[in-house]
Chain A
Amino acid sequence: MSNPSLTQGFVVKQAGMLGLIQDGGRFGAFNLGLTNGGPVDLLAFQWANRLCGNTLNATAIEISMGGLILIAQVDTTIAVTGANMPLTINGEVKSLWRSYHVKSGDVIDLGFATQGLRCYISVADGFIITPSFGSTATVCRESIGGLNGGKLLVGDLLACVSSSRAKNFLLADKLVPVYSNEVTLHTILSYQQHHFSSCQKRLFFSNEYTVSKSFDRMGYRLEGQAITCDIEGVLSEGICHGAVQIPSDGQPIILLNDRQTIGGYPKIGAVFSIDTAKLGQLNQGGKVRFEPISMEQAHNLFHLNLSRFNRTELVVCD
């Protein structure tokens, strides 16, 4: 690397199942066919950045399942939020949802999640990654973002500056999200909803669905009561985050961060973003229910959550 300040940071000693460099996501490149990427659990990602005193979109790592080991080469501050993954620093057990000072040579070990699926590791001032199309978000399917458009590999250097924070912070226990195996997904009826009869909508909203084995950052395929509509498809059109596709087998697919930008399956609605974050923490076998929500309710809930997030003060812990 040409910039000498970028030759230090954290080295990946063990890559884990799926470690991805992510910022808040890529916006403004839909016309090139590029999707958003970004953290599936936006809330946990933003907390990780706040704990490190960063801007909310600073580049962090999303680790799915777990198994990541990093070696620090600099003195700095880190925080881990999200799923319950056992965290140790130099073998010492540490809790998530708080920041820690680390120094050069420290070993940060993230085991496998016992509850939830994805964790976020942030570092003071964020990892320094060259953005592609305005974002560092990694979308493997597109080979865009991150270090080389792919997941973290052993030996990768995650550059960052040496920039320790004066104090460490934690998020009060009662505010830490609880990752459950059962999630209610508030859903706005939208798109082709008129092609689903009221009876089909009632079935959709009154049955429990199970996360199938096909789930990833692109989308979650569910299994349960089949839903039918009176069309087979539409001319390919823009797919928003959280859109619920109903293909001809009637099994819903909820589209997430790495979804394709356009598609032609009928869509009954879209899941509210705060709930897609919870969905993204589910594994195969997780249970979901849909609950209808109006656009106005979604808007109000979004702002209530935003206001709560902004007003919450972190606790100084040392």
Chain B
Amino acid sequence: MLHNLNIQLAGENALIIYFSEQGSGQVNANISAKVQQAEQLIRKAMEQELAEDIIDLVPSYASLMVIFNMVTTDHYFILRKLRKLLKNIDQHSIEQVSTHEANIVELPVYYSNESGPDLSVIAKRAQLTIEQVIKLHQAQEYRVYAIGFAPGFAYLGKVDERIATPRLNTPRMKVPKGAVAIADRQTAIYPSISPGGWNIIGLCPINMFDAKANPTMPVNVGDRVKFKAISKNEFIALGGLLEVAYE
């Protein structure tokens, strides 16, 4: 149950709706579902009555930031509209929420020592075999909690506690595009070459962010993701590249 709609000021043209106690630090699928539900309701209104007034939304783990147009409206009006739009959010049944979430995306991963330089570290730390780590990573159905950090970088949770691993002490200067990685109980796929401190366990040949494609990303916040192990040959056949340097 959402007991109260906690809407705070963010900036001169931004309000932020919190769906859980601020700072509670808990990543929670039910709260994430509320964020998604609220986002859908507001986006619908943005196609009609609020088309001029709301510029953009930033959904995240337990909050939704609403950017409004200061030229046409003000925070009082937006606050009132948000309260009205979201007042029934509790009454939507869980079944309704789950039909909205039906989008399950399966992403292939080539797990191996050559594509996942941190597999052995995770296995050793967890006192598991590499095969068990790979199996545990695939066993979970993940939820897309947030997209940010870099274009197309999707934060997925939650990773099985047994293979949850803290970030590297020294981040790598260069993580290859498609690197599948773990940080604590989160997992993600690096959409492009970038610096990064997550533990790399494999490579995904699917483009996570393609500016020219429609849709640009295979996943949205709220979607479910399953990983499926593929062989090196399958990885290459799907367009994956192995000539990557880890620095």
Task: State the A residues within 8 Å of B (CB).
Answer: 27-34, 132-133, 141-144, 188-192, 195, 231, 234-243, 260-263, 270, 272-273, 295, 298-299, 302-303, 306
Contact, CB under 8 Å: A191 / B16? yes
- CB-based nearest A residue for B65: A238
- CB-based nearest A residue for B69: A27
- Report how far A231 CA is from B21 CA in the complex, Å: 13
Does B201 count as interface, using CB distance less than 8 angstroms? Answer: no
Q: A242-B11, A260-B148 are in contact. Are A30 and B61 (CB under 8 A)?
A: no
- Report how far A34 CA is from B153 CA in the complex, Å: 10
| Contact for A270 among B12, B62, B217, CB less than 8 A | B12
Residues on A with beta carbons closer than 8 Å to the beta carbon of B61: 235-237
The 9 sampled A-B contact pairs (Cβ below 8 Å) are A33-B147, A33-B151, A190-B9, A190-B11, A237-B61, A238-B63, A239-B58, A240-B65, A262-B60
| Contact for B23 among A27, A143, A192, CB less than 8 A | A192
Q: Kindly provide the distance from the CB of A286 to the nearest chain B CB, expressed in whole angstroms.
A: 22
Q: A27-B55, A30-B58, A295-B75 are in contact. Are A188 and B63 (CB under 8 A)?
A: no
Could you mark each residue 123-155 of chain B with 1 if its beta carbon is under 8 Å from any beta carbon of chain A, else 0?
000000000000000000000001111111101
Could you mark each residue 69-83 of chain B with 1 if its beta carbon is under 8 Å from any beta carbon of chain A, else 0?
011001100000000
| Tally of contact residues, B, Cβ under 8 A | 47
- Report how far A238 CA is from B155 CA in the complex, Å: 14
- Report how far A31 CA is from B219 CA in the complex, Å: 10
Q: Kindly provide the distance from the CB of B175 to the nearest chain A CB, expressed in whole angstroms.
A: 15
How many inter-chain residue pairs (CB < 8 Å) link A and B? 135
Contact, CB under 8 Å: B151 / A236? no
Does B211 count as interface, using CB distance less than 8 angstroms? Answer: yes
Q: A235-B61, A262-B60 are in contact. Are A188 and B11 (CB under 8 A)?
A: yes
Could you mark each residue 20-53 of chain B with 1 if its beta carbon is under 8 Å from any beta carbon of chain A, else 0?
1011111100000000000000000000000000
Contact, CB under 8 Å: B151 / A34? yes
Contact, CB under 8 Å: B10 / A143? no
Q: Kindly provide the distance from the CB of A265 to the nearest chain B CB, expressed in whole angstroms.
A: 12
Q: Sort A-B residue pairs by CB-CB distance and give the 10 closest, nearest first.
A: A238-B65, A238-B58, A270-B11, A262-B148, A240-B11, A240-B14, A190-B9, A298-B12, A235-B61, A237-B63
- Report how far A190 CA is from B67 CA in the complex, Å: 14
Contact, CB under 8 Å: A234 / B23? yes
With A27-B56, A143-B192, A298-B12 already in contact, 18 other A-B pairs whose C-beta atoms are closer than 8 Å: A28-B56, A29-B56, A30-B56, A132-B211, A133-B211, A141-B150, A234-B22, A235-B61, A236-B60, A236-B146, A238-B59, A240-B10, A240-B11, A260-B149, A262-B58, A262-B146, A302-B70, A306-B71
- CB-based nearest B residue for A261: B148
Q: Give residues of chain B (166-212) contacting chain A, Cβ–Cβ below 8 Å.
A: 192, 209, 211
Does B216 count as interface, using CB distance less than 8 angstroms? Answer: yes
Residues on A with beta carbons closer than 8 Å to the beta carbon of B159: none
Contact, CB under 8 Å: A235 / B55? no
Residues on A with beta carbons closer than 8 Å to the beta carbon of B113: none
| Contact for B216 among A30, A32, A299, A306, CB less than 8 A | A32
- CB-based nearest A residue for B73: A299
Does B230 count as interface, using CB distance less than 8 angstroms? Answer: no
Residues on A with beta carbons closer than 8 Å to the beta carbon of B23: 192, 195, 231, 234-235
Q: Kindly provide the distance from the CB of A186 to the nearest chain B CB, expressed in whole angstroms.
A: 9
| Contact for B148 among A27, A33, A132, A299, CB less than 8 A | A33
| Contact for B221 among A31, A299, A306, CB less than 8 A | A31
Does B220 count as interface, using CB distance less than 8 angstroms? Answer: yes
Q: Kindly provide the distance from the CB of B143 to the nearest chain A CB, expressed in whole angstroms.
A: 14
Does B64 count as interface, using CB distance less than 8 angstroms? Answer: yes
